[in-house]
Chains A and B, each alone.
Chain A
C-alpha cells in the first residue's frame, strides 16, 4: 500500500514566479484535500475534490491559486505570481468515502 505522494518535497522560487505542485493520492481514495501549514500552526483547509469534481474551496484560496484533479486521479495545485506570504508547507491528503484522511509528506515552498 503506497501512501500519498507529493512532488516536489521542496520548492524555492523568486517572488512573482508561478509554481505547481503535484499530489498522487492512494489509488482507491476518491476524496482529495489540499491544506496549507505555516510555521508553528496547524494545517488550514484549502480545497476538496471528490473524484474529479472540486466541491469546496476555502476563502484562503485566492484567485492566484488553482487546483485541478483531472480524471479523478492525481491533483495539481498551482500558485501564480507567488508572494512572500505564500511560503508554507502544502499538504495533500486523501481518503475513501468514510475513513480518516491520510496525508502526504508535503511540499515546502520558500519564496525568495
Chain B
C-alpha cells in the first residue's frame, strides 16, 4: 500500500524568501512518480511539478524545484522567491508504476497550508 506523509499542517514565509514543504512517501514499487499540486482557496488543483523515480536529476519548473532523496523516500517542494499568490494548500501525491504504463491514479498526502506574508 502506498502512503504519503506531509508533516507540516501549516507553514509561514516572508515574501521573496524561499520555503521548503516536506513530503515523505512509502512504497514497495521500484517505479513510481511524485507530484506536487497547489490548491488555492477557490478549489482548483493546479499541477506544479513531477519527479519520476528513475530521474537522476531533481525536477525544476520555474520557481519550483523538487528535492528528491530516493534513499530517504522524500520529495520536498522548494519554492524560491515566494509571492503573495503562492498562499494556498499544497499537496504531495504519488502514482504507482511508470508514467506511461500505469493507470495513473494518485495517492495524496493531507496537504500543507502555506501563508506568504508581505
Seen from chain A, the residues whose Cβ lies within 8 Å of a Cβ on chain B are: 31, 33, 35, 40-45, 48, 50, 55-56, 89, 91, 93, 95, 97-106, 108
Contact = CB atoms under 8 A, between A and B. Distances in A.
13 contacts: A42-B91, A42-B93, A42-B111, A45-B107, A48-B103, A48-B105, A55-B103, A56-B105, A89-B43, A100-B47, A103-B37, A104-B44, A105-B44
A74 B14 CA distance: 42
A56 to B, nearest CB: 6
Contacts of B46: 103
Contacts of A41: 110-111
Given A42-B111, A45-B106, A101-B104, A93 B45 contact: yes
B85 interface: no
Ranked 5 nearest A-B pairs via Cβ: A42-B108, A103-B45, A98-B100, A45-B105, A105-B44
B42 A105 contact: yes
A65 to B, nearest CB: 16
Interface in B91-116: 91, 93, 99-100, 103-111
Nearest to B91: A42
Contacts of A56: 103, 105
Nearest to B47: A100
Contacts of B50: 100
Contacts of B43: 89, 105-106, 108
Nearest to A31: B104
B35 interface: yes
Nearest to B45: A103
Query: Most chain-B Cβ atoms within 10 A of its Cβ — which of A42, A44, A55?
Result: A42
A101 B110 contact: no
A106 B44 contact: yes
Contacts of A95: 104
B77 to A, nearest CB: 14
Query: Most chain-A Cβ atoms within 10 A of its Cβ — which of B100, B103, B109?
Result: B103
A13 to B, nearest CB: 19
